[in-house]
Structure 1
């Protein structure tokens, strides 16, 4: 599965219009859109408005809020005209996604305050797929969305949701629109764009499950790497991320991040957590760099940023790092990042009760 693109937005909009066109002569004002409180007319207008808004956010590089504009239809616009507006707004978003560089982010509130071009493409596709379902359900029309589009939305916007037997039923369940065997109904949901933590020279960019899967299989994860990257530790960490996602225990804020140089957009390494915090508020980090990026302070910069972000959370009290006895370079990195060597008693407890390898030194930094 490649990067989510403007073509995906176009494909979703094309399917929406094709599904709704047979009903353009009906009264959409008096028919509820599936389980929504909106009418079919209101829902179709919402789809057009969302596509236009996403295009505006991304094109305008909105920083802290929504760009202050909205969609207003000409008086007397009929349903056929409304579908034309949906198509047009879809083209605008698709074109904006295609022409926006990969590292650019713009404001969106959920959950970390911004999204990149893939995030906006995924949100646009989600709006189209889900509300086409609502509209066709209300109007009694057939609707069979592209399963690959549904899977793309899930891996980018619902990384915290365990994959189900098929992508489309899982997406419907995850958004409170259907049932999934063995899972409780969803009554409250929110999609999640990936987290990016900026530093002076880097952007710690959250790796999504689909990109992690590609890295695990030997690909580049949709990133442009410097020579020698990604290092093996990043690929191994990506594999653990995929396992967590498939098991339904992945928490994106405690996932894996690519270290992307802000000056040229190239990835130089990876950093991340070994999992979510335990019941004692302990979380462990690991990191690596491509050989060509070593000796420039990137690792220290990244470890400082990720550690401080973790310790700012209420559910984290201690950040741990385990390092080989002879890896003095990595030991210096964590020392510069404010970590101290654990006491002998702390190391004993880590070895006996937390399965820490006895061949590793334990370093800690507390809130």
Structure 2
């Protein structure tokens, strides 16, 4: 996966600056920015504030809160100077993105209290294009960012939003700024950075639709893999994630995770759920490792961490692993992670015909 965060920020900021320059000789203080209560001037400055704040989070490696600093304007700053501030903040943010290692995560409150450089890039782009839209509405000017810019935002931090035929209109709808045929108006919204679960030697990093598309197409998904790269099962799981995303039923925390070694930041396998828990609180897990990573206990460690996280939630009662009878290594992974062989009736959903015992053996772990 190409590291496009810096490029996307630069494109979004350039579009913002171009729109602002087209109205630099007008008053920005009176008109409100779209549906916001802020003036167009306040909103333009807010874009710069967000970009520099995100740069600070990454550069300062903030872990528990926002870095306690702010941006101020000199007295008498005019519209042309505000545009310069926006461009400067954007350049600093793009530089921070390009110099931040891939594995670094910094504090952001929603929803899992951290984001990586790609997540911060998508948040910065969202702030730039959405608030430029607000300003354009307030000043009565046309504005539309490139489709790929909007697609980047949607597939990185709006994984819960079913994609539409027009990425810009979809993004506007998802943030309460527009309408889409067949979809109810949005009155409250949040973006969603990927979930990362810690284990002793690994981190389990949630896969976004953007990363899943790369993996399914034969790419690396933005990860540095050991050996020959992802096992075919990881690519298949990425395809399942994409189908759920395209259908609008993907729940990010119940998708796919890539297992990344803490020691060197390299990916060694995939693990995750076949979907969200059903009404009885049952969810199915699956996993695989790159061949070069097997035999070191990584899969058991990761499955234990994933299972502990899931079973601590109120909506999960039973986790199920369906294992081929001859796959002794996979069975050993499940057993070491606390799973036990189950009667078929214990593990299958009500009304579902039982699996043939010679095809799949079911292992379960309960609260």
Sort the TM-score into its range (normalised by shorter chain). over 0.9
Compared CA separation, residues 344 and 116, structure 1 to 2 (3 A): closer
Map residues 269-288 of structure 1 onto 2, 5 A cutoff. Answer: 269-288=269-288
Alignment correspondent of 1:185: 185
The alignment status of 1:159 with 2:136, answered yes or no, reads no
Within 5 Å, which residues of 2 pair with 1:52-67? 52-67=52-67
1:334 is displaced (CA, Å) by 1.0
Aligned equivalent of 1:332 = 332
1:333-352 equivalences in 2 (<5 Å): 333-346=333-346, 349=348
Closer, same or farther in 2 for the Cα pair 1:134/1:101, shift >3 Å? same
Task: Specify the SS of the correspondent of 1:44.
Answer: helix
Distance 2:315 2:166 in 1: 33
Instruction: Measure the CA separation in 2 of the matches of 1:270 and 1:3.
Output: 21
Q: Secondary structure at the match of 1:224?
A: coil
- Secondary structure of the 1:205 match is strand
Counterpart-to-counterpart distance in 1, 2:4 and 2:355: 39
Q: In the TM superposition, what is the alpha-carbon distance from 1:4 to its structure 2 partner?
A: 3.1
Cα-to-partner distance string for 1:149-186 (whole Å, 9 max, x where unaligned): 00000000100000011100000000000000000000
Structure 1: distance between partners of 2:353 and 2:273: 15
Aligned position for 2:97: 97
SS at match of 1:16: helix
Change (3 A) 1:266 1:25: same
Aligned residues: 366
Q: Distance in 2 between matches of 1:115 and 1:209?
A: 16
Change (3 A) 1:357 1:130: farther
CA RMSD of aligned residues (A): 1.4
Q: Distance in 2 between matches of 1:345 and 1:143?
A: 58
What's the offset of the Cα at 1:20?
A: 1.2
Paired with 2:112 and 2:350, the residues of 1 have a C-alpha distance of 35
Please report how far the alpha carbon of residue 355 of structure 1 lies from its aligned counterpart in structure 2 after TM superposition: 6.6
Pairing 1:232-271 to 2, within 5 Å after superposition: 232-271=232-271
Q: How far apart, CA to CA, are the structure 1 residues paired with 2:40 and 2:4?
A: 28
2:210 is aligned to 210
Counterpart for residue 175 of structure 1: 175
Following TM superposition, by how much is the alpha carbon of 1:210 offset from its aligned partner in structure 2, in angstroms? Answer: 1.5
Is 1:353 paired with 2:352?
yes
TM-score scaled by length of structure 1: 0.97
Residue 198 of structure 1 deviates from its aligned partner by 1.5
Distance in 1, Cα, partners of 2:69 & 2:22: 31
Q: Equivalent residue for 2:111?
A: 111
Is residue 26 of structure 2 the alignment partner of residue 26 of structure 1? yes
SS at match of 2:22: helix
Which residue does 1:122 correspond to in 2? 122
**Secondary structure of the corresponding residue to residue 242 of structure 1:** helix
Displacement after TM superposition at 1:354 (Å): 6.3
Q: Distance in 2 between matches of 1:196 and 1:356?
A: 33
Note the alpha carbon deviations across 1:2-43, whole angstroms, 9 max, x for none: 433211111110010001112112221111001111111111
> Retained in 1: the 8 A contact 2:57–2:66?
yes
Q: Distance in 2 between matches of 1:314 and 1:81?
A: 52
Q: Is the 8 A contact 2:345 2:354 kept in 1?
A: no
User: What is the alpha-carbon distance in structure 2 between the residues aligned to residue 232 and residue 193 of structure 1?
Assistant: 26
Conservation of the 8 A alpha-carbon contact between 1:31 and 1:40: yes
Deviates more, 1:103-112 or 1:215-224: 215-224
**Aligned counterparts of 1:345 and 1:315: Cα–Cα separation in 2:** 20
C-alpha separation between the residues in 2 aligned to 1:182 and 1:38? Answer: 31
Q: Which residue of 2 aligns with 1:315?
A: 315
CA contact (8 A) 2:144 2:168 kept: no
Aligned to 1:194: 194
- Per the TM alignment, residue 229 of structure 1 is displaced from its structure 2 partner at its CA by 2.3
Please, what TM-score do these two structures have when normalized by structure 2? 0.97
Asked whether the equivalents of residues 351 and 357 of structure 1 are also in contact (C-alpha less than 8 Å), the reply is no
Secondary structure at 1:222's aligned position in 2?
coil
* 1:291 Cα deviation from its structure 2 partner: 0.6
Give secondary structure in 2 for the equivalent of 1:88: helix
